[in-house]
Structure 1
Amino acid sequence: MANQAEHTAMRRAIELSTRATWTTPPNPDVGCVILDAAGEIAGEGWHERPGSPHAEIVALRAAGERARGGTAVVTLEPCNHQGRTGPCSNALLDAGVARVVYAVADPNPTAAGGAAHLREHGIDVESGLLADEAAAANARWLTPFRSTRPFVVWKYAATLDGRSAAADGSSRWITGAAARADVHRLRAAVDTIIAGAGTVIVDDPQLTARDGDAELPYQDQPLRVVVDSSGRTPEHARVRDESAPTWIATADEVGATPDGRVDLPKLVAALYERGARYVLLEGGPTLAGAFFAAGLVDQVVAYIAPALLGAGPNALVGAGVTSIDGAIRLDTQDVATIGGDIRIIATPRPSKE
C-alpha cells in the first residue's frame, strides 16, 4: 500500500508529466520522482521529446547514489523495450531501487512488460496509484489505445466577448504574435490538422506549422484535412500546395449524414486507420459545433484576446446546446499569459447520462 510520501511524489510526477506536452508527441507524457530510502525526494524528471531520455532516466541521474534502496514513483509503467533509448526497467534495476510505484499500465504492447520484468528481479512493484489523475494528464497519448480513435483538440481564437471575427468578416489578427507562434508550436506537435471547406474558401489558410508568422516551416508537417461535403475546395487553395500532404474529405468518400454532410465519426475512424493519433481542429465555428455534438472533442485550447467587437460570428455554432442545463462544461487544466493574450487549456466533462 502506497504511503503518504509516495502519494505526494505521484502528484508531483503528474505535474511534471505535463511540462513538455507539445514536444513529446508521438511519445507519452511521463513524469517521475525518485525517493531515497528515507522517503525524501532525491531526483525528479520528465520526458521532453522523442529520442531524449525518458522521465525515469532523468530522475535517476538527478538522484545519483541516493536512488539505491529507494523508490521510483512514475506516472506510466516503466518501458521494457529497446527503442531510441534503452529499457527504463533495466535502468531502475541498475540503479538499485527497491520499489517502483506507477499509476497507469502501459497499453502499448511494444513497450509493456516493465512491471513484470521488475518483479521477476525482486523489485517491489505497486500499480494504480492516482491512476485516474495520471491518465487524464496523459489522455493525448492514451486515448488512441483506449478508444481506437485519435485525440482531438479544438483550437480557436476569440475576443473577450466570444467573437472569432468582426462583423465585416475580418479576423486577421485577433491575437498577437506570441499567441500565433504558440499555435504553430501546437500545430507542430499534432499529426493532423482539420478545417472546414468554408474556412478554406473564406480565409485560404495554408494550415502548416511554421516559425510564428514567418515562412520558415517545421521539417515534419501534419496531414491537412479539409472537411468538404460537396467537393467545393478551390483548385488554387493554399491547402493544395506541396508544403504538406492534404486530404479533401468528401461525403461521397467518407460517408454522409442524412443531411448530406461528412459523417464525422466515420471521418475520425478513417483518420485513425490512416495513422492519425493527435488531431487539431482549427475551424470554423460550425464544424467545431458539429464535432462537439458528435462527442469528438477531447480538449479545448482557447486564445482569448483582450478586445471587444460587439458583433460578428461566434467562436462556436451548432453544438447542440439549447439550455444552461445542457451547457458543455469544461475542467480547466492550464491558464497562461501568452504575450498580451490569455491561453486556456480545458477538457470537456463527461456528459451526464
Structure 2
Amino acid sequence: PAAGGIEQLRAAGVEVVVGVAETEVRWSNRAWLTAIQRQRPYLTWKFAATLDGRSAAADGSSRWITGTAARADVHRLRARHDAVMVGVGTVLADDPELTVRLPDSDGRDGQDEVHHPLRVVVDSSGRTPIQARIRQPQTPQSGAADTWIATASEVGGVDGRVDLAKLLAELFARGCRSVLLEGGPTLAGAALEAGLVDEVIAYLAPALLGAGAPALVGAGIHTISQALRLEVRDVQLIDTDVRIVGTLAAQNHRQGQV
C-alpha cells in the first residue's frame, strides 16, 4: 500500500524493477508495512527470562537476569521504536525510566543523536505515582522522551479497563508505527490473547530460579493445542545470553483489555 511512488518514477522516465529481494525488503520494512495495512503500530513483545521461564525470583528481585551486553542490546532496540510500553504493575514494581542509554562504543557523543521513544504506561485506573521516574520530564541529562499514561477514561473498553486495540489505534493516530512492549507478564498476555503481538524477542539467561514470577501470564492458553507457535527469524548469542527473534501468525482479534 504505497503512495504511488512507482507510478511517479515511471512517469518521469525512470526504469523501475520490482520483486528484487522482496522477502528481505519486506522483513526490513515490516513495521511500516504492518502499520499501514492494519492501521495500528507493529507490536514487538520483548522479555528477559531464565531458562525455566522466570522474569523474577521468589522474593521479587529481578536485577539483573541478563548480562550487560544483552541489556545494551535492549537499549538499541528501544531506539529503533516509536514508542515503548509497559503496564502499571511494572511501574509500581520496578520504577523504570524506559530511556535509551547507548554505550560510547555505538559512536555517539552523549545522548543528543539518540532517538527516545514515547513512553506509554497502560494504567486503567490511574495508579502511576506522581513521583514515578517514567513521569519525569525530558532533560539533557536523562534524555527521556514524553510520557503518556493511558487510562480507561481515554481508551477504555466496556468493562472500564484499557482496551489495547483502541490504545494502539490512538498511537497510530499519533504517528507511531512501531511499539516495543516491555512488560509486564499480564499486559503481554492480554496483548497476545487479543492477537495484537506481531513479533517476540526473548533474551534468555543461562540461569535457573525454580520459583518466582513467570515471563507470561494468561494469553488465553489452556491446553498444548492452543500454544502460540512462532516462526524463528534469528538466534544469536549475546555474551552469555541467547536472543531469539520470532514472529507470530496473524491471530483473530479479540477484545484485549487490561
Aligned-partner residue type, residue 226 of structure 1: V
Correspondent of 2:59 among 168, 184, 189: 168
Deviant stretches of 4+, over 6 Å: none
| Match in the other structure for 1:273 | 173
> After superposition, what is the alpha-carbon deviation per residue over 1:295-316, rounded to whole angstroms, capped at 9, x for unaligned?
1111111100000001111101
1:223 equivalent in alignment to 2:115: no
**Amino acid aligned to 2:146:** P
User: Quick check: 1:113 aligned with 2:8?
Assistant: no
Q: Does 1:250 align with 2:145?
A: no
Unaligned runs of 5+ in 1: 1-106
| Letter of the structure 2 residue corresponding to residue 180 of structure 1 | R
Indicate the residue corresponding to 2:101 in structure 1: 210
Q: Find the residue that maps to 2:180 and give its secondary structure.
A: strand
Q: 1:325 aligns with which of 225, 241, 246?
A: 225
Counterpart CA distance in 2 for 1:120 and 1:242 is 47
1:141 aligned counterpart, secondary structure: helix
Residues 211 and 217 of structure 1 are in contact (CA less than 8 Å); yes or no, is this contact kept in structure 2? no
Q: So what's the TM-score if we normalise by structure 1?
A: 0.64
User: 1 CA distance for matches of 2:8 and 2:118?
Assistant: 38
What secondary structure sits across from 2:61 in the alignment?
coil
Where do residues 130-209 of structure 1 align in structure 2 (5 Å cutoff)?
131=22, 134-209=25-100
SS at match of 2:127: coil
Which residue does the alignment assign to 1:337? 237
Task: Name the aligned partner's letter for residue 194 of structure 1.
Answer: M
Counterpart of 1:341, as a letter, is D
Alpha-carbon distance in structure 1 between the residues aligned to 2:215 and 2:103: 22
Cα root mean square deviation, aligned: 2.4
**Residue correspondences, number:** 242
Give 1:257 deviation, angstroms. Answer: 4.0
Answer with 1 or 2: which has the greater Rg.
1
CA contact (8 A) 1:193 1:223 kept: yes
Deviations along 1:142-174, one digit per CA (max 9) or x if unpaired, are 111111111111000000011000011100000
CA contact (8 A) 2:80 2:115 kept: no
SS of aligned partner of 1:127 = coil
Q: 1:184·1:212 contact (CA, 8 Å) conserved in 2? A: no
Q: Which has the higher contact order (CA 8 A, sep 6+)?
A: 2
Does 2:174 align with 1:282? no
- Aligned partner of 1:324: which letter? I
In 1: Cα distance, 2:153 partner to 2:45 partner:
25
Whether contact under 8 Å (2:196, 2:251) holds in the other structure is no
**Contact 1:210–1:218 (Cα < 8 Å) also in 2:** no
Give distance in 2, aligned partners of 1:155 and 1:122.
42
Counterpart AA for 1:146:
Q
Gaps of 5+ in 2: 105-109, 139-144, 254-258
CA contact (8 A) 1:208 1:217 kept: no
Which residue identity is paired with 1:252?
S
Give, as a single letter, the amino acid of the residue that structure 1 aligns with 2:126. Answer: G
Which residue does 2:192 correspond to in 1?
Answer: 292
Q: Secondary structure at the match of 1:310?
A: coil
